[in-house]
Homo-oligomer: A and B are copies of this chain.
């Protein structure tokens, strides 16, 4: 066997990937085969990681943005000694395995983020690098650089075409994230064929325009990969893009450089031919030479040493910076100090009241100093979303320690970067835009739900209540669309005090994203001596008027329409009809309560139920039994002052009272 150890190490990534895809009869062999040289150099010579502790704070982050090439990552994880057995490789894409079709964070040790939907990993990585820069600025003291790592990613032409990538790349350049190093798998092939079909832009020039440092290389020249990586590391004020000209399906006599190697198994015959081309035994499957495994597994000792050295550094840091070290430990372990919620403001009853976005801003003013992990921002709607706490300073390239990010008009990158920041750890990201633009970042909310990422989305201007901006800006279907997502908490508070509790629910939800849905217009701050405590918000729904005994009907509502529900209640009262008013800021929290509580709030015996919400009725039928019992929107909105809109679209107390009476009749 005349092949060098290095060459066999590289080929092993290729053969494992081919074999696993073939066995699964499903998957993407071409990318791992094409990027094996890059992956080998990066993972054995540069990546600082500890396979036995994939959660080590100061590890380099590696993101496989081209998530379809998951077998590249699984091969690396197995080879370098992560808790990912050969059995799992053989169970690639099978029920119960930890080797799903696309990498999923939380499922597989060493997987930093869930990828597959293109562009997401690219932008997640930028969030990770930003979190690193931010934490470094806050905690590093002189040479006591306890947070000091790179964020690497492998990205594909598909990633580069996606809008989310382009948004995030521009912001990364603006923020001069010098420790971000991305390898572009420039293989000239997409699913449809040659990239010439649709992608002929000058990628290098584009990234230079964004402020990146670009290094074009032959992606199979390992010396060039080494040199480029070192060069990228040496450029500290710009993100780096190493453009690696590669061959998809490298070495496959009939499928290299074709879309045929992209998304399907090569087939036994072609695998055979390819292994022969590599000079390895075609009879062996899932084979790893002993010396190859030994070489890769050096990562285990190396990683342990690296972490030990870091632990020593951290100990020294703790001695010399006790307070900072305490804060560091706290934020890296979740970031929510005990009794933080004691500072949540309590708002006095006030008929004029305030917008819930305003209350949200006041909550942020109060909690920002208590929760140092908070890292806020807005997609260029700071003054509208009211997401900037007064004490927050702006995070910029010359002030990475700032706690407020101007994302620009880039909702999608904001969401994906928040996800990356949360996954990095040490920060609790939140970001604002208008509710209607939740559509622009929807894929990131989904991935946060799937990946249990506690990003907090602040969605203001939440209905026709925003008025004159008109139907392009008036969400109608967005509440239903967000509620349809799994593991996503939607919170639409009815007044200032519910807003404080909604923030509490969002901060304390560490299992997935939360969406705060807030008004532009003022809402009365309810008199809690008359109505039940807003603490009921934490249970998702609660009875506002428990003292009105023997109600004949339940009127349920959220947010700005609770005021209408209460008015309908009063109107009906004058006619001798007692109703219960249920404020229901979060369907998801309510469904998480036990049956006893749910029955207490909505007794089964009370069949007369009307819901009112300035949105499509979908989702309410579960509580009202029928769509007809919902006062909601059945069309897009319109441009006019909001009072006119409520009147004209029939979102009124009269309409609610009428429906109650019709049902009772």
Chain A residues packing against B (C-beta within 8 Å): 24, 26-27, 67, 93-97, 99-102, 104, 114-118, 157-158, 161-167, 170-171, 173-174, 190-193, 197-206, 208-211, 378, 380-384, 394, 396, 406-410, 412-413, 436-437, 439-440, 442-443, 446-447, 449-450, 467-473, 476-477, 480-481, 483-487, 616, 618-619, 621-622, 625-627, 634-636, 638-641, 644-645, 648
Write the nearest CB–CB distance from A273 to chain B, whole angstroms: 23
- Knowing that A26-B468, A171-B198, A486-B636 are A-B contacts, what are 8 other residue pairs whose CB atoms are under 8 Å apart, sorted by A's residue number? A115-B472, A162-B410, A173-B200, A198-B380, A200-B211, A202-B208, A202-B211, A447-B472
A620, B117: Cα distance in complex, Å:
28
Closest-CB distance, A241 to chain B (whole angstroms) = 13
Distance of A180 from chain B, by nearest CB (Å): 16
For residue A171, which residues in chain B have a CB less than 8 angstroms away from its CB?
198
The 8 Å CB contact of A640, one of B93, B104, B115, B167, is B93
B201 touching A470, Cβ below 8 Å: no
**Smallest distance from the beta carbon of A598 to chain B beta carbons, Å?**
13
B163 contacts A163, C-beta separation under 8 Å:
yes
Q: Give the distance in Å from the alpha carbon of A174 to the alpha carbon of B157 in the complex.
A: 15
A95 touches B408 (CB 8 A): no
Between-chain CB contacts (< 8 Å), 8 pairs:
A100-B639, A101-B473, A116-B473, A162-B163, A170-B201, A173-B200, A174-B201, A203-B209
Residues of the B chain whose Cβ atoms lie less than 8 Å from the Cβ of A638: 95, 100
Chain B's nearest CB lies how many Å from the CB of A552?
21
Q: How many whole Å from A64's CB to the nearest CB in chain B? A: 12
Give the Cβ gap from A25 to chain B, nearest Cβ, in Å: 8
Min CB distance A593 to B, Å, is 16
- Evaluate contact between B206 and A210: CB separation under 8 angstroms: yes
Contacting residues, chain B, for A634 (C-beta < 8 A): 486
Query: Known contacts A167-B162, A408-B190, A616-B486: does B205 contact A209 (CB below 8 Å)?
Result: yes
Copies in the complex: 2
Provide the bound-state CA to CA distance between A469 and B95, in Å.
Answer: 12
> Contact between A191 and B635 (Cβ–Cβ < 8 Å)?
no
Q: Which single residue of chain B is at the shortest CB-CB distance from A469? A: B101
Given the known inter-chain contacts A191-B382, A380-B158, A473-B101, please indicate yes or no for A468 contacting B639, CB distance below 8 A.
no
Measured in the bound complex, the distance between the Cα atoms of B210 and A204 in whole Å is 11
Residues of B contacting A190 with CB < 8 Å? 380, 408-409
Q: Is the CB of A163 within 8 A of B167?
A: yes
A413: min CB distance to chain B, Å: 7
Given A443-B439, A480-B484, A622-B627 in contact, is the A472-B102 Cβ separation under 8 Å? yes
With contact pairs A201-B211, A473-B116 given, residues A101 and B206 touching in the complex (Cβ less than 8 Å): no
* Inter-subunit contact A191/B95 (CB<8 Å): no
Residues from chain B with a CB closer than 8 A to the CB of A203 are 209
Partner of A117, one of B157, B408, B436, B622: B436
Q: Is the CB of B470 within 8 A of A102?
A: yes
- Which residue of chain B is the closest to A587 with respect to CB atoms? B618
CB-CB nearest 9 A-B residue pairs: A163-B163, A198-B408, A101-B470, A166-B166, A116-B472, A100-B639, A205-B209, A95-B640, A206-B209
Cα–Cα, bound, A409→B190 (Å): 9
CB of A639 within 8 A of CB of B486, answer no
**Are A626's CB and B622's CB within 8 A?**
yes
Q: Which residue of B lies closest to A208 (CB)?
A: B205
> Given A95-B645, A192-B380, A639-B101, A174–B198 Cβ distance below 8 Å?
yes
Q: A95, B625: Cβ atoms under 8 Å?
A: no
Partner of A477 from B67, B102, B484 at Cβ < 8 Å: B484
Q: Which residues from chain B contact A118 at a C-beta distance below 8 Å? A: 409
Contact of A163 among B166, B209, B473 (CB under 8 A): B166
A249 to chain B, nearest CB (A): 16
A332 → chain B closest CB, angstroms: 28
Chain B: minimal CB distance from A420 (Å): 16
What residues on B are CB-neighbors of A406 within 8 Å? Answer: 192-193, 197-198
CB-defined contacts of A648 to chain B, threshold 8 Å:
95
Contact B472 A93 (CB under 8 A): no
Contact B480 A480 (CB under 8 A): yes
Contacts of A645 in B (CB 8 A): 95
Closest chain-B Cβ to A591's Cβ sits at a distance in Å of: 10
Which residues on the B side are within 8 Å of A442 (C-beta)?
Answer: 439, 442
Residues in B neighbouring A193, C-beta threshold 8 A = 406
CA distance A206 to B207 in the complex (A): 8
Q: A104-B472, A639-B94 are in contact. Are A409 and B618 (CB under 8 A)?
A: no
Say yes or no: A409 contacts B200, CB within 8 Å: no
In whole Å, how far is A262's beta carbon from the nearest beta carbon of chain B?
10
**CB closest chain-B residue, reference A621:** B621
Contact in complex: A437, B117 (CB < 8 Å): yes
A127, chain B: closest CB distance, angstroms: 15
Task: Decide yes or no: A472 and B450 within 8 Å by CB, A209-B203, A622-B627, A640-B94 being known contacts.
Answer: yes
CA of A486 to CA of B408 in the docked complex: distance in angstroms?
A: 29
Given A380-B191, A470-B102, A484-B480, A644:B95 Cβ within 8 A = yes
CB-nearest residue of chain B to A263: B384
Residues of B near A116 (CB, < 8 A) are 469-470, 472-473
Which of A436, A486, A625 has the most CB atoms of chain B within a 10 A radius of its CB?
Answer: A486
Chain B residues lying within 8 Å of A380, measured Cβ to Cβ, are: 158, 161, 190-192, 198
In angstroms, Cα B407 to Cα A162, docked, is 11
Q: Are B199 and A170 neighbours in the complex by a CB distance under 8 Å?
A: yes
